[in-house]
Each structure stands twice: as C-alpha cells, then as structure tokens.
Chains A and B, each alone.
Chain A
C-alpha cells in the first residue's frame, strides 16, 4: 500500500489500574479505509483519544504525515486535518444545523484573524449540500440539541465531512442509524474516500458495515492489537472469533 498517513508505534495508555491500550502499533495508509474492531472496553475509543491528543499517552509515538504529534493539543491536531467524531454524540446544542455546519468549516492556521470573516456563499452551499445528503435538509433550522439521537449522529458526520479532513476517525458512525440509511452512509464514505482522497479509520461493531467498507481491519482485545488483515481473513481468524465474533 501507499505511504502511511498515520503511524502508531508502541502506544500505551492506562487509566488508574485499567490498561486501555498496551503497546499498540499500526499504520494507516494514505487514501485507505481502515477498520478497527474489538469487544466493548477493548480500548478502541481510547486509541482514537490517544491519536487525537485527548489524553497524554504513557508511551509510544504517533506520527501524522511523518510528524510527531503526541505533544500537540487536540485543536492543533485537528487543524492539521485529522478530525474525529465521538461515540456519544457531540453537536452544538443551542445552534441550528446550518450553523453547526458553518462552524465546522476547516480552519487550518489557527490564526484568530482568519476567524474575523463572514462565512462565504460557498460555505453555505456546501453546508446545505451535506445536510441534504444526511437527510437533515428539512431540519436545517432546528436546534441541534432537539434532534433525535440518530439525527445528531448524522449531523455530526456531516460536520466532519464539512471540515474536509485528510484523515477522518469515525467512532461507531452507524450506531443508532436506520439500516437503510447505513447503506447510504457507506456509499458516501466510499465517495469521500475515492473523490476527495479522505483517509478513513473507522470503529464499528456492525460487521455488515465493516465487511463492506474496510480494506483492512485491526482487532483490539484487552487493550492489545491481536490481529490485522483483510476483512475476509479477519472474519475467519480463530483469535478474532474467540475474542470478538463469537466463541465456540
């Protein structure tokens, strides 16, 4: 595969007595769609947190586009084009959907002066487009806090795309989404990947999604990386079946 956009090397992270990540190393190649699966509590979200600077890591290194980012803060990392979504929905409750989208326009430099402009017509158009796509066009002027759980999830996804990330970490994007719409989401993810070259790194419990989307899957269990490989291999890997997909 191509150059890695993200290199995770020997990352460990513990909370009190719980070792959530232990010595994890993996690569995310540029332009790929990579999956991350594992039982509940195996440390998947924690790994996302470690990568995006949510908490300092105990050991290891994280390189993004060849550059060490473990010392950077979340916002700085995000400004490099590495964006994540959350398992529990995170939207701006008291603002309507359009504003939620407009705020999500990328801000690369982090310079305050770049904030002193009004959103352009282009931004608005793009925001409307994305809302249309996730089926929230008719809700565009509702406050995000009053959307249903699934709708918030969709909005959050649209916001992430609005940010035009280079690498997008999605934490269970389809949890709570209607199965038919999930198909659409997968389609759109593929488009984003193919057309705009967004690299995707996705956590999912829904194997239907994983099998149809991911080119390569990493499996965590008990905070350790226990297997990596193509979806088909993973599905038949005895260790993965034992730890996750279902024991004898």
Chain B
C-alpha cells in the first residue's frame, strides 16, 4: 500500500523531470510538446469518466471548444476591445487590436481560469442531466451534443460565425509556445497529483463502483448521481484548460474543425487512454505520448497514407492490446516476476 503510493510519487517526479528537460532537448519541437501536454490533459480527463466510471463520453469536446472560445474572448475583452467589433471582420481583425505583453499573459491566465470555472458548472449541469442515461444512449447522446455545439458555434456572429475567430497576436517579448508549455505542464502536474490523491479516497472507490455495477452502488447507499456529475465537472475543468491552451497555440479557431472537432480531437481523447490502458493513472499519459509520437511519425513518413496508418494502428491496438500498453506491461511483468503485486493492490494504485 505505502509502497504503491511511493512508486506513484516516484513516477510523477520522473515524469516531471523529463518534462522539464524536454524543451531543452527538443527546442524545435515546442509546439508538439505543447500539444502533448494538451493531449495528456484531455486523455486523463476523459479517463475519469470513460476509464474509471465506465461512461464513454464523446461529449468532452464540448468543454474543449467552450474553453477555447472563452479564453480567446477573455483575451479580447481584457485587451479592452469589444468582441463583436473584433470579430466583425469575420475571423478577427488583428492589426488594429493589439495588447501589451503583461496584458496578454494575464488575460491568458485569467481566461484559462474563467474557462475552468465556467466549465465546472457546465459539466455539472450537463452531467446531472445526461448522466442519467447509460451505455450506448449516453455515448451517442454526448456525441450529439458535441456535434451540435460546433454547428451552433458556427452560427454565432459574435464569435466570428463559420469563418472562425483568431486569438490575439502575442505581442513582442512573449514566447507563446514556452508560456503555453509551462502552463500546460503545471496543469498536468496538478491534475496528476489530484488524481493520485483522489483514487485513494472513497470517492475514487465509488467511481469504480459505478463502473462495475451502478445498481449495486445505489443499493448500498452511495451517492452515485453526485459522484458522476462532479467527476464530469472536474474532467470538464481540465478539458477546458486544455482547449484554451490548444487554441492559443494554434491561434485560429474554426468552430467545427478546431474547437469542436469531433473526428479528430474528439476521438483522439478516447483513443489515447485506450492505447495506454484505460482506468489507470499512467495509461492515458503513456497513451498520449505514444499517440503523439505515432501521429507525428505517420504524418511525416507516410504522406498520403497517414490516416490509413492511423486507422490500422487503432484497429491493431483495440484488437490485440485490449488493455493497452499498461496492460501489456503488467502481463509481461507478471510473466517475468510472477504476481509481484496482487490485482487488487495495483488496482488501487490506479
């Protein structure tokens, strides 16, 4: 038990050390590293529901998109401009809307915080409603919500409509990718610490209980509804922050293709936990890293066939590695060293 806990912290520290070294080792891959932080965030938050609670959501893209628009809008607003005016030249008119470096940085951070807070309540509300459905209904219901959100965002002129919206240009002296990376890494570490703590509490147990047998959990008096909504709300917070970081990094928001892009980010966020091993802490993180590596590799070397390769990769993973890489590692470890830890203890460590 205590040993499991220390190994969690050791792993976290190792991760942190690597992450701190990364920008110095790979200075030319900064934007990929920012994306990686974003991916880790969305993978971990998806896993809170999908892996730990057994609710497969396609709707997390909702929070991602809202977060992104909110951060962009907060920046414009804190820069002292009117959003409608800014977006009146559809897509955002950057030349006449400039801000100073301090304003840019603070507005970014405040925007992220605002996105976090707002999405907590969005998650709570949507969760309290949609989480009343289960299984396929829940999956497709959230899918509908995600798709509809993008379509409606594209009709809102104040957000630039279908032409999308630009983030403010970072002023001189702001190294945006660096800033985003450190913000992203900070959030990731916060999230990891939070999850390590959470999964040891009875709250974490209840999440698993809901996954395994919700009827039983209810019969035993566990507050399943509250736990479900709050978990989704927490997931929404981190997904929204991820959305804000991603949008700021890409600079341009298209409603259906960047913000609420279901066929890409929306699916990736569940693919990553599956690759790494869902329902564990390090699985989604590992999955995000692997996914980012594979994706970049495919896009570089399999030009024209990269989606075919990605598709095949997905198929191979779900068919042959049902428990993800973590599952494979555990199986290997058991084969090599016998059952070092019982299923239960490592389950708890998850």
Contacts and interface: CB of A to CB of B under 8 A. Distances in A.
Does A touch B (CB under 8 Å) in the complex?
yes
B235 to A, nearest CB: 16
A103 interface: yes
B289 interface: no
A143 B343 CA distance: 7
A116 B343 contact: no
A102 B223 contact: no
B223 A141 contact: no
A145 B213 CA distance: 11
A67 to B, nearest CB: 16
Nearest to B205: A103
A92 B216 contact: yes
B335 interface: no
B248 interface: no
B220 A163 contact: yes
Interface in B218-241: 218-227, 230
Contact of B347 (A99, A106, A117): A99
A103 B206 contact: yes
Contacts of B211: 94
Interface in B198-224: 200-203, 205-206, 208-209, 211-213, 215-224
Interface string A92-111: 11111111001111111010
A241 interface: no
Size category of the A interface is 35 or more
A143 B221 CA distance: 22
A70 interface: no
Contacts of A143: 343
Q: Which of B215, B219, B220, B345 has the most CB of A within 10 A?
A: B220
A153 interface: no
Interface string B287-311: 0000000000000000000000000
Interface residues of B, number: 32
A189 to B, nearest CB: 19
Contact of B220 (A78, A95, A140): A78
Nearest to B212: A92
A73 B223 CA distance: 10
Interface string A146-181: 000000000000010001000000000000000000
A73 B224 CA distance: 11
A79 B206 contact: no
A140 B347 CA distance: 13
A135 B279 CA distance: 29
Nearest to A118: B200
A142 interface: yes
Interface string B261-286: 00000000000000000010000000
B343 A90 contact: no
Contacts of B343: 96, 141-143
A173 B169 CA distance: 68
Contacts of B205: 95, 99, 102-103, 119
B348 A74 contact: no
Contact of A107 (B219, B222, B279): B222
B344 interface: yes
A95 B219 contact: no
Nearest to A107: B221
Contacts of A108: 221
B96 interface: no
A119 B279 CA distance: 20
A92 B213 contact: yes
25 contacts: A74-B218, A75-B219, A75-B223, A75-B224, A78-B221, A86-B219, A90-B219, A94-B212, A94-B347, A95-B344, A96-B344, A97-B344, A99-B208, A99-B347, A99-B348, A103-B209, A106-B221, A112-B203, A112-B227, A112-B230, A114-B202, A115-B206, A118-B202, A119-B205, A159-B220
Interface of A: 52, 73-79, 83-84, 86, 90-99, 102-108, 110, 112, 114-119, 140-145, 159, 163
Interface of B: 200-203, 205-206, 208-209, 211-213, 215-227, 230, 279, 342-345, 347-348
| 9 tightest A-B CB contacts, nearest first | A78-B221, A96-B344, A141-B342, A92-B212, A90-B216, A141-B344, A79-B221, A115-B203, A74-B218
